[in-house]
Amino acid sequence: MARSGPIRILLAKPGLDGHDRGIRLVLRALRDAGMEVIYTGLRTSPEQIVRAAIEEDVEAIGLSSLSGAHETHFLEVSRLLTEQGAEDVLLFGGGIIPKQDLDSLNNAGFHRLYPPGTPLEQIVADLQQQLRSKRKGE
């Protein structure tokens, strides 16, 4: 059954990374574009993120990491989603992610990874396009 209503996205800061300015800017931009955004806050575990995403019936999860632990946390979220049968949730991320880590994250389903300084309009447009296309395909 095709979804209707606003796009629902969960944003999270996994691990011990305490820098949340960027994710809060993304949150405001997505909300200003008419999306429903759930923000789990700082220091959220992959298990908490996946549980919240399933409970809230979101279409996408956005993770942010500036601490260097992105691969551990991002990959665990992807693994847990698959384990829970929720691999249809779109994954995207942002933060400081070295080029050598991009392939493993792409293979885990993170096809959109945004470095610091990415225009908010680009993130909003990418998500709207991807999720609207996905809705039409359901």
Write out the catalytic residue numbers. Answer: 17, 19
Strand order in the sheet with 90-95: 36-39, 8-12, 60-65, 90-95, 110-114
Q: For residue 90, give the 3-state DSSP assignment.
A: strand
- φ and ψ of 122, to 5 deg: -70, -45
Contact 26, 54 (CB under 8 A): no
Contact 61, 90 (CB under 8 A): yes
